[in-house]
Structure 1
C-alpha cells in the first residue's frame, strides 16, 4: 500500500510565491517556443494546523482553478484520510478537464502533500517513496535551435565536464523550416562529444510524419539514442505511423497531464516514456507510468525542475534518468539553500526531510526577490479571495 494512503491532512493555509526570474546561461529556443532569456520558479506551500509544511513547484498562473476547485476541499476536509481527500480533489476538476492545466495543478498540490507527509515522518521524500538509493542518473539537455556553433561548443564542454553519459539537443530550427541546418548541427555535436556519449534529439512536435522520417534518416548513422516528440503529441495516428517506420526509438510523454494516456502511447509503439511527475494529476499516476514502462521493457526519464524531480526518479530503476536542462535550471540553484549536488553524471540527494530543496524565504523576501505572494486561509469565510496579495 502507498505510504500516504492513511495520512491525515488538516490544511490551514495555502501560499504561492513566485521568485524573480534568473537569466539563462545562454538564451534558449526550441522548435516551437522561445527564445527564453530568463526563467522563474513558483512554489506552493501547504501548512497544516500543527504548523507542518509541504512545498512543490507550481503553475502560478492558474490560481482561479485552485480557488474554485481545490481550496474548499483542502480547507474543509479535515480528519479524513489522504485517500478520501485526494478522491475529492480529483473529481473537483472534472469540468476543467483531466488533460490540461487543472490536472497539472492537482499534481502539484499532490506533491506538496507528499512533501508534507514525508517531513512529518522525518524522512527524505525518496525514502518515503521506498527508494533504495540517494543518487540518480541524469542526462544533460540543451543545444537550443538558436545556438551558434560557438554556443554549442561551450555548452557541450559544460556537459562533458558534468560527467554525463547522455546529451539531448533541440532540432526543428525556425519552426522546422531549416532541416538541413538541423542535420548539420547534429553532426557537429556528435563530433564534439565523441562516440561514447549517447545523443538524443528533440523536435518539440514541429514536423509531420514525412518530415520527421526525412530528418531522422539523414542523422540515424550518428547513433541517435531517441527521437523526442517529432510529431504532434495529440495525434496518436501519426505517432503510431512514425513508430512503425522510424529506425530510431520514439519518445513522448512530457506534454501529457494524465497517466491514463501512456498505455495508448505504448500501444502506438512509443519506446521511451517521459512523464514529468508534477505535470500529471498525482504522484500515483507517475508511479503507474513508471511501472508500465518497467513491465513493458521501455526506456523512461523525467524532466521539469530537475532538482525536485531527482528525488522522485530515485524511486525508479537505476537506469531511468532525470533530465537536466542546464541553461534554464542552473540559475535557479542560486535560490536554494539546500539542493542535490551534481557529481559524475549523478544527482546526490541530501538527507533532509521531504523534497531535497530548501529556500530561505525570509532572506529572499528581504532581498526583494519574491515577485508574487498570495496566501489563502481556512479562517477566511470568503477563501476565494487572497488573504494577502503583495
Structure 2
C-alpha cells in the first residue's frame, strides 16, 4: 500500500483521519493486513469509519463476523474517551444539557461532525448524521466497494457542462419504491426515459439518482424537515433488483423509432448501498447513466411516449409523443413553436459532442493518476 509507513495510531480526532490514517489505526489494533488493504481500497476515511457497522463490513468488504465485530467494538472504544472528555469540559464550563423527552436523542459535538448518542442504546454506540458533501459514484463505472453514507450531500442537480462531464438529476422516489412491481416499473421507466431522451437530444452524458432529495416535495415527504438539503442521500428499499432492471423493457413500447439507439445509450441500473448506523434496514441509491456516443446519435432527434399507470383502468397507458431536451437542471419538452431553433442546434451539438469525445482522454498527468487510484479496485 503506497505511503503506508505510518504504523503509529494517529493522534488527530478520528473524524479528521484520512484513509491512510484509518489504515494505521487498524494496523495498531492488530487487524489482518488483507482486510486493511480492502478497507483502504474502499477509501474509508475517518468520517466514514464513524458510520461503519458490522453488517456493512461483512457484506461490502467480505469480512468474517469476528474481525468485523472486533473493528466496530474498537471503533466504539475509540469514541468513548473522546465523548467523556467533552462531557467533562462541559461540566467545568458550567454548561447544562437539557432533553425534551426521555425518548429523544441528545446531540454532542465531535470535531466538525454531528454525533448522536441514543439515550436507550448500549454505551459507546454512536451514529453519524453528517451533512458533508460527497462525490457521486464514478461515472459509468462498476466500483465494487463504493457506497454512500446517509445524509451526505451529492452535488446539486445540474445542466450540461461540457457534454462529457455528466449532468445530474435527483429523485427521492421513497413512496414509489414501495409500490407493487408493475406500478414501480412504470414510475421508474417514466423517469429514466424522460431523463435519457433529454440527455440524448442535448448530446450530454448524465446520471439520474433515485433515493436522493431533489425537490421541495421530497423534503415535504420526509416530514417537512427544513434541515434536509437538495442532493441529500436518503436511500430507498430495494426488495427485488430485477424489478428495476426489467423496467427498461418499456423502451420497446415507448420509443417508436431508433429504439436500439436508446438501448445502447441507457446503461443498466446500478445499486449503490447506503450506510446508515441508525437503522439496520438496507437501502440503496439506484443510478442510471446515459451516454449518447456520437457514433450512435449523430444526426438524430429522439422522441418518447412516456408510460403512465392509469388507476381508473388498472392498465399502463402511453402519453402523447414528445421531443425532450435538457434545459438547465431540468428535462423539458421542445414546443412546436421552438422547432425552428431546436433542429439547427442539433447539428451544432453533434459537432460539440464529437470534439468533446475526441478530447476526453487528454488530461493532466496528476488528474489521471488520481483517477487511476480511485477507479482501480
Identify the TM-score tier after normalising by the shorter chain: under 0.3
Query: Relative to total residues, which structure has the larger strand share, 1 or 2?
Result: 1
Instruction: Tell me which structure has the larger Cα radius of gyration.
Output: 2
* TM-score, structure 2 as length reference: 0.25
